Chain A
Amino acid sequence: MELGQLLLNALVLGASYALVALGFVLVLNATAAVNFAHGELVMAGGMLAVALATVLPLGDVVPGLLVLPLVLVVMAGAGLLFSLVAYFPLRRGPPVSVFISTIAVGIMLQHAVKAAMGPAERAAPPLLAGPQLDLAGLIVSRQALATLAVAALLIGGTALLLRRTQFGRRLRASAQDPEMARAVGVPVRAMIASSFALGTALAGAAGLLFANSYFVSPESGGNLMIKAYIAVVIGGWGSVPGALAGALLIALFEVGVAAWLSSPVAEAALYGALLLTLVLRPQGLFGEPVGRRV
């Protein structure tokens, strides 16, 4: 029973990490540049959910499921704005310019949120409120079930969007070979902006999930960014399934290895696994061999 409870909790944590990693890898593929502000965008999504829950005229307890669509829309807009400020003006410059600009915007975002909402940790409303369920000896909160469902829906929806729609095919074409895509009439600039919008919307959704289950503070972004980076390196640089697998692996380390040994050992083991991956399989679990890595 203990094992089942641990696996369930690892799955819930992994689902939240997966949304973070998915948003990160979409922008990475579209721009070939690391968005170092991604963690802060996740944090901003969580804080936005906290703020919306207090201002929406829906009574004392606003279910997170009602806040989620608003978070997705607002964060998509924030993603577009982010691309206009931190990416497009510098994209023809040296790659390091984009890294620096995303770091700078991330820090500005962190300070802006701190100025607006204070330094304290905050809790967003649960997606679904209500008593916990007892499923064959496992204690399962409605929030955990809703987290799994929302993550599955958003990840599945993104996969469908990328694979089964003309828009998705254009996005992928722009990511894989922008020059060729432009030559055949794909509006590459719009596709890149859309990737920022989609990736940031997913970051916002992840923020909402995190902000209820694990709380959120203006300082939360850095740690989430590292998790996204590790997931992508282990899973395969630029690979969407790899990022999801990497995210689940991180959660398994944080819950499973921590239960077996201890949390500090689990953290060390995770970084050990990261180093081993870089040495033994630099392309990651799902990635194809690449010649250059950021």
Chain B
Amino acid sequence: MASAASKLRTRQLSLFSLFSCARSAVAASAVAVLWSSGAWAERVRLPILAPTSGILALEGASQRDGALLALQHAPKGVRVERLVLDTGSSPQRAVQAFEKAVRGALPVAISAPIFGPEMLAIMPLAKERKVPLVTISGTAKLTELGNPYVFRFFPGDAVVKTAQARYTVEELKRKKIALVYQTTAYGQSGRTHLRANFKKLGATVVMEEGLSPRVKDMTPVLVKLKRSGADVLVLQLHSGPTALIVKQAAGLRLGLPIVAGSAMHQPSTAALLQPSSLKGVCAESGSSPVSGGSDAMRAFATAFQKRFGRAPDAFAAAQYDGVTMVLKAVAGGARTAADVRKALASGRHDGLAMSYKSDGKGNMAHDAVIVCYDGKTRVPAIVKRYRNVDGAL
């Protein structure tokens, strides 16, 4: 009996050994295949830093959610450790969030805040730690400081303000400009580019006014505008003030076309207004997911709506594209922050909104669109595309 049991145990052990060897061989082969294909299942770190509270909470939420959806749609085999940090629309908090994000193993990249002042605060730290920042902030200065770790996936003011000015002058044939801008860094940067572009295009700024985001009543600006003889109103305002001035301009029967900044294309801005108030209103943007344009963009808009319960805007699409380019680099074999930086600096990515390639300064996005509302719905149509715009001042 003992002998039979011993034989059985020996046979079982042999079978187990055989099974173990086979399993190891299969695992080793799988690892080899995965490694060679680049789809390595080790978790990489790609923290998301976004201002989801404070003055830029709305845009920050779009940025965050675009990045989260990109992580959800990561290439097969790429696993990402999820870390989302609120930067509070404050440079100090952005620095704290950055320090937390780089604690431990160095991330392959950081999905960095949309808010320009926050970016300016963390850029030196990113350079020091040698970690790429994937941002959609439009502040022109970010890519003018010679920091090789900044990659901007939303067209900067050099691109979108050129498109905004060209559409106003070349398509609408308006040359007497009323320019209303926000007194924040965002507004000042856009104003500089718009003024330079209008001058280049032979148009005159006949009236301009800087507004604090706290201003509630726009009548004073609109009264001055009427007095100035302007034939178009050009805006560089955040979301709420854009909606306020559009609403009050319609209320006072301004009767002039309005060419707004990218805040106007956001579905949440249009949602504040009656469709009739939007007649004659156009806006620049990097893209307009709600306007469709391609099957991939429509699929993105549907997936975004399903996951977050609201329509995506161009900021979400751009951050999705930026993070997707990083993830594709990882899937393609990039293992470290240095590898990813190299891939971003030298590679090309055909994203949802456009084709991205660095201009050597970290500007990845070079196209802009103009969207216009017909006064019947809150969904704008893309009326003009500007490709490979070089609007450097």
Residue ranges of A at the interface with B (Cβ–Cβ < 8 Å): 2, 5-6, 9-10, 13, 111, 114, 118-123, 132, 139, 141, 213-215, 217-219, 223, 251, 254-256, 258-259, 262-264, 266-267
Q: From residue B150, how far is it (CB to closest CB) to chain A in Å?
A: 25
Query: What would be 7 A-B contacts, judged by CB atoms less than 8 Å apart?
Result: A6-B220, A118-B310, A119-B60, A123-B272, A123-B273, A263-B215, A264-B212
Instruction: Enumerate chain B residues within 8 angstroms of A123, measured Cβ to Cβ.
Output: 271-273
Instruction: Enumerate chain B residues within 8 angstroms of A122, measured Cβ to Cβ.
Output: 272
Inter-subunit contact A215/B243 (CB<8 Å): yes
With A120-B58, A122-B272, A215-B243 known as contacts, the answer to whether A264 contacts B183 (CB < 8 A) is yes
Instruction: Enumerate chain A residues within 8 angstroms of B196, measured Cβ to Cβ.
Output: none
Inter-subunit contact B219/A255 (CB<8 Å): yes
With A139-B252, A259-B224, A264-B183 known as contacts, the answer to whether A119 contacts B272 (CB < 8 A) is no
Cα A119 to Cα B89 with chains together (Å): 12
Inter-subunit contact B272/A259 (CB<8 Å): no
Instruction: Enumerate chain A residues within 8 angstroms of B220, measured Cβ to Cβ.
Output: 6, 255-256, 258-259, 263, 266
Instruction: Enumerate chain A residues within 8 angstroms of B310, measured Cβ to Cβ.
Output: 118
Cα A251 to Cα B220 with chains together (Å): 12
Cα A215 to Cα B215 with chains together (Å): 12
Inter-subunit contact B61/A118 (CB<8 Å): yes
Judged by a CB distance under 8 angstroms, whether B253 is at the interface is: yes
Inter-subunit contact A121/B243 (CB<8 Å): yes
Say what secondary structure dominates the interface of chain A: helix
Cα A114 to Cα B209 with chains together (Å): 31
Cα A254 to Cα B183 with chains together (Å): 16
User: Knowing that A263-B209, A264-B210 are A-B contacts, what are 5 other residue pairs whose CB atoms are under 8 Å apart, sorted by A's residue number?
Assistant: A111-B53, A118-B310, A120-B58, A215-B243, A215-B272
Q: What is the chain B residue whose CB lies nearest that of A262?
A: B209
Inter-subunit contact B240/A215 (CB<8 Å): yes
Judged by a CB distance under 8 angstroms, whether B359 is at the interface is: no
With A122-B272, A254-B216 known as contacts, the answer to whether A5 contacts B252 (CB < 8 A) is yes
Inter-subunit contact B212/A263 (CB<8 Å): yes
Inter-subunit contact B219/A9 (CB<8 Å): yes
Instruction: Enumerate chain A residues within 8 angstroms of B272, measured Cβ to Cβ.
Output: 121-123, 215
Inter-subunit contact A214/B58 (CB<8 Å): no
For the complex, count residues of B whose C-beta is within 8 A of A.
Answer: 36
With A139-B251, A141-B251, A262-B210 known as contacts, the answer to whether A119 contacts B224 (CB < 8 A) is no
Q: What is the chain B residue whose CB lies nearest that of A111?
A: B53
With A121-B243, A254-B217 known as contacts, the answer to whether A132 contacts B223 (CB < 8 A) is no
Instruction: Enumerate chain A residues within 8 angstroms of B239, measured Cβ to Cβ.
Output: 120-121
Instruction: Enumerate chain B residues within 8 angstroms of A263, measured Cβ to Cβ.
Output: 209-212, 215, 220-221
Q: What is the chain B residue whose CB lies nearest that of A140?
A: B251
With A119-B61, A267-B212 known as contacts, the answer to whether A259 contacts B54 (CB < 8 A) is no
Judged by a CB distance under 8 angstroms, whether B214 is at the interface is: yes
Q: What is the chain A residue whose CB lies nearest that of B215?
A: A263
Q: From residue B159, how far is it (CB to closest CB) to chain A in Å?
A: 26
Cα A122 to Cα B224 with chains together (Å): 28
Cα A266 to Cα B217 with chains together (Å): 12
Judged by a CB distance under 8 angstroms, whether B268 is at the interface is: yes
Cα A223 to Cα B240 with chains together (Å): 14
Inter-subunit contact A214/B221 (CB<8 Å): no
Q: Which among B52, B55, B220, B252 has the greatest number of chain A C-beta atoms within 10 A?
A: B220
Instruction: Enumerate chain B residues within 8 angstroms of A256, measured Cβ to Cβ.
Output: 220
Inter-subunit contact A215/B223 (CB<8 Å): no
Judged by a CB distance under 8 angstroms, whether B106 is at the interface is: no
Residue in A114, A139, A251 whose beta carbon sits within 8 Å of that of B53 in the complex? A114
Q: What is the chain A residue whose CB lies nearest that of B208?
A: A262
Inter-subunit contact A5/B244 (CB<8 Å): no
Cα A120 to Cα B309 with chains together (Å): 13
Judged by a CB distance under 8 angstroms, whether B57 is at the interface is: yes
Q: From residue A250, how far is it (CB to closest CB) to chain B in Å?
A: 10
Cα A86 to Cα B52 with chains together (Å): 27
Instruction: Enumerate chain B residues within 8 angstroms of A264, measured Cβ to Cβ.
Output: 183, 210-212
Instruction: Enumerate chain B residues within 8 angstroms of A258, measured Cβ to Cβ.
Output: 215, 217, 220-221
Cα A139 to Cα B271 with chains together (Å): 24
Contacting residues of chain B (206-252) with chain A, CB-CB under 8 angstroms: 209-212, 214-217, 219-221, 223-224, 226-227, 239-240, 243-244, 251-252
Q: From residue A256, how far is it (CB to closest CB) to chain B in Å?
A: 8
Provide the B35-60 mask, 1 if CB < 8 A to any CB of A, else 0: 00000000000000000111101101
Inter-subunit contact A5/B209 (CB<8 Å): no
Inter-subunit contact B268/A120 (CB<8 Å): yes
